[in-house]
Amino acid sequence: MIIDMPDTTTSAVSKRLVTLREEGGVVALGRVLTLIIVANRGEEEDAIEAANEASREHPMRVIVISRSIEPEGDEPRIDAQIRVGGDAGASEVIILRAWGDASQNKVSLVTPLLLPDAPVVAWWPGAAPENVSDSPIGKLAQRRITDASAHSNPHLALESLARSYKPGDTDFAWTRLTLWRGQLAAVLDQPPFEPITAVQVTGAADSPSTTLLAAWLQMQLQVPVDYELTHSVRGVGGIHGVEMERASGTISLERPLSNVATLEIPGQPTQDIALPRRNLRDCLAEELRRLDPDVLYGEVITRGLAGLESPADAAEENR
């Protein structure tokens, strides 16, 4: 069910939600959190679709602030849309499109719609404030999610995230590493338990996840990590591969395709393993599983990134 409410107020939206619950029972009360999505106008649907899918694991209220990227001279007003039932997964979605001066105070837009006594998570699927924790919406949230890959220069975005990091911040560039980190940890947990002496990481020039993976490996293995950022290989972006040297030979985990990787370990047969690029739904669902600060991400983005040497790469072409 989709209900349009042009030229309305947040108070009227809140009352309409109560009416829907009382009259039709279409809005359940068992929401575990409020997710605030701040997206550019016209780019909300991908984020809403991901939130709808993630809501099947995390029932929630989704409040979408649809912002204009151009200066507005319109008369102040709020256009709202409520989506419930089959159009909202296991969530309820409230889209707020504010015009003119009504768009200036985003906190006043969302405050009447927050679930009482429920955690608040804020997500910027596109460009985010330079300091998300100090932004008006960021101050409302226990967890603040950004996506460095959505910026025109992802590596400069990582540097900005490192400077402004506060506990509770996280980024999808880190979330996309979960499968890689798990697979590499599993490999090193097998005999022979020899120290790693050198590491090489390669990835696409626009992949901030490659940089974070190199920083994480350098922190965990306590060896210098060389990493190279190049143009996509056969259209495959993101992380391309990792090579780790030890006395018995080279461990290689390469991803020549977008969803299958090849694992080579000395003395063992070559293996093809599933290592897909994670979509928005998977990343969002994982981040919503924890509402406490991600301590490891904080260490990697602040200390690990600072200790990483600049790559000899094609990323310089992005500057």
For residue 50, being part of any structural domain is answered with: yes
Give the pLDDT confidence score for residue 313 in this predicted structure: 46
Same domain, 101 and 33: yes
C-alpha 213 chain-centroid distance: 15
Q: Which residues pair with 2 in a beta bridge?
A: 83
Q: What is the number of domains present in the chain? A: 2
Same domain, 51 and 143: yes
d(CA 114, CA 24): 21
What does pTM read for this prediction? 0.91
Give the pLDDT confidence score for residue 240 in this predicted structure: 94
Q: For residue 206, which amino acid is it?
A: D
Give the pLDDT confidence score for residue 230 in this predicted structure: 86
Cis ω before 167 (30° cut-off from 0) = no
Helices 45-54, 280-288: inter-axial angle, 10-degree rounding: 50
Same domain, 113 and 137: yes
d(CA 68, CA 71): 7
Same domain, 21 and 164: yes
Give the pLDDT confidence score for residue 315 in this predicted structure: 42
Domain around 221: 178-279+311-318
Percent of residues in the chain assigned helix, strand, coil, to nearest 5: 35, 25, 35
d(CA 146, CA 210): 17
For residue 301, being part of any structural domain is answered with: no
Per-residue pLDDT of the chain (319 residues; tens, 9 = 90+): 899 999 999 999 999 988 887 776 545 556 889 999 999 988 899 999 999 999 989 899 999 999 876 655 568 889 999 998 877 777 899 999 988 887 788 899 999 999 999 999 999 999 899 999 999 999 999 999 999 999 999 999 999 999 999 999 999 999 999 999 999 999 999 999 999 999 999 999 999 999 999 999 999 999 999 999 987 655 568 999 999 999 999 999 999 887 899 999 999 999 999 999 999 999 999 999 999 999 999 999 999 999 998 775 444 444 4
Give yes or no for a contact between 217 and 242, defined as CB atoms under 8 angstroms apart: yes
Sign, CA dihedral 123-126-131-134, equals negative
Q: How many helices (H) and strands (E) does the chain have?
A: 11, 14
For residue 154, being part of any structural domain is answered with: yes
Same domain, 13 and 144: yes
Give the pLDDT confidence score for residue 232 in this predicted structure: 60
For residue 297, being part of any structural domain is answered with: no
Nearest C-alpha neighbor of 303 from the set 201, 215, 172, 214: 215
Token pair recorded at residue 234: 């056969």
For residue 284, being part of any structural domain is answered with: no
Give the pLDDT confidence score for residue 237 in this predicted structure: 80
C-alpha 269 chain-centroid distance: 35
Give the pLDDT confidence score for residue 318 in this predicted structure: 44
Q: Name the residue with tokens 């409230």.
A: 94
Cα dist. 268→60, 90, 96 in Å?
Answer: 46, 45, 56
Same domain, 63 and 86: yes
d(CA 233, CA 252): 17
Same domain, 82 and 182: no
Give the pLDDT confidence score for residue 48 in this predicted structure: 95
Same domain, 76 and 200: no
Same domain, 130 and 230: no
d(CA 293, CA 263): 32
d(CA 57, CA 227): 36
Same domain, 78 and 222: no
* Final residue of a structural domain among 105, 140, 171: 171
Token pair recorded at residue 99: 């015009």
Same domain, 138 and 87: yes
